[in-house]
Amino acid sequence: MKQYKNILVYALVNLGDVVLTTAATALLRHAYPDAKITMMVKPVVKDAILGSPVIDDVIEFEYRPRENSFGAMLRMVKELRRRKFDLAVSYDRKLRPALLAFFAGIPERIGPSKVFEDKSSRVTWLYTRVVPITHDLDDTLQAETYMTIARGVTGEAGTACPAIAFPKEEHEALAENLLAQLPKAKKIVALCVKGTFPLKTWPKTYFGTVVRALAKQYDAAFFVVGAPGDREYSDEVIAEMAPVPVLNFCGDTTLQTLSALLSRVDLFFTVDTGAAHIAATTGVPMVVVYGCTSPKRWHPINESACVLTSDEPCCPCHYAADDCPSAPRPNCLWHVTPEQAIGECEKILGQDN
């Protein structure tokens, strides 16, 4: 097996995917224990991997057309040249980072034949070697697809779990400060109520039904987590949970603080979103509701995770919310009932005492 000393891996994708790619990077770390591994990611997900045991350094690159002028691209090419990488590994099959690696003159550039969709892409022309992905993407865990890329690089078998940054003392302290705001209770339940797009977002009234039922049965305290932009929507969902008091922590946590926070709860009830994959690395018991996406592909890597899906014949799909054939009440979301969710949450929370 050829040895590499300075490896660039890149995944200019959303949080959940970046978390899952760290399982593949763990395979690279095992194969090349003496190599320096640097990861290129969007700034918003940097905190999840900066300090990961399988990654030595992080390069931020904002993948938005208005942010990526020719000058910005040129500066990044110069930066990559300066670092003298001998291998670049693509987890995303995106054009812009592939161009950066190409013009930076990285001698070996390896990427997948497919990663998010079955369509072929001319992006692969920029690779020096293409790893064939032959399995069905929709029926295979996305983490396995990423690990297939890593195996194609190393030629070695093996599996690994995602390895994100460990919370530091300051993150643990911030998590404790947030929990101190909750009313005293025997159980702590965290919620994430908003997905990255509407067909991932369970109905507001359903969340209200679940929280009221759990509050009636358990001495429990509740809070919601999410990005800063989720706060207003989460307030609307919290209104549906009345009269149960629920705190809104959206925007109050960094990704490492979120990890520390979720590791302390008794249950995390969430839609399919990046926070679910962050939580999975902590081992926290979880119930995850899926809409248009499939748990066959996006199941959290966590033995304590239960997933709920109505497994509609039209799923997984790529419809915009307004184009969904069953809009305005998409079957994939409305057919996963509050009663199902309550039952799974009760299995985790057990008998209140």
Domain boundaries of the chain, sorted by first residue: 6-154, 170-349
Instruction: Read off the tokens for 315.
Output: 């799923």
Closest CA to 321 of 289, 288, 297, 292: 292
Q: For Cα atoms 311, 312, 318, give the angle at the middle one, nearest 5 degrees.
A: 105
Q: How many CA atoms lie within 13 A of 14 on its CB side?
A: 12
CA dist 278 and 172 (Å) reads 15
CA dist 88 and 121 (Å) reads 18
> pLDDT 10s per residue in the chain (353 long)?
788 999 999 999 999 999 999 999 999 999 999 999 999 999 999 999 999 999 999 999 986 666 668 888 899 999 999 999 999 999 999 999 999 999 999 999 999 999 999 999 999 999 999 999 999 999 999 999 999 999 999 999 999 999 999 899 999 999 999 999 999 999 999 999 999 999 999 999 999 999 999 999 999 999 999 999 999 999 999 999 999 999 999 999 999 999 999 999 999 999 999 999 999 999 999 999 999 999 999 999 999 999 999 999 999 998 888 999 999 999 999 999 999 999 999 999 997 65
6-154 shares its CATH topology with 170-349: yes
Contact in structure between 200 and 214 (CB atoms under 8 Å): no
CA dist 44 and 60 (Å) reads 9
Do the strands 36-41 and 57-60 form a parallel or antiparallel pair, or are they unpaired?
A: parallel
Contact in structure between 89 and 8 (CB atoms under 8 Å): yes
Full-model pTM: 0.93
pLDDT value of position 2: 84
Domain 170-349 has CATH 3.40.50.450: no
CA dist 257 and 47 (Å) reads 10
Instruction: Write phi, then psi, for 348 (nearest 5 degrees).
Output: -80, -45
Contact in structure between 40 and 10 (CB atoms under 8 Å): yes
CA dist 16 and 304 (Å) reads 18
- Output the CATH code of domain 6-154: 3.40.50.2000
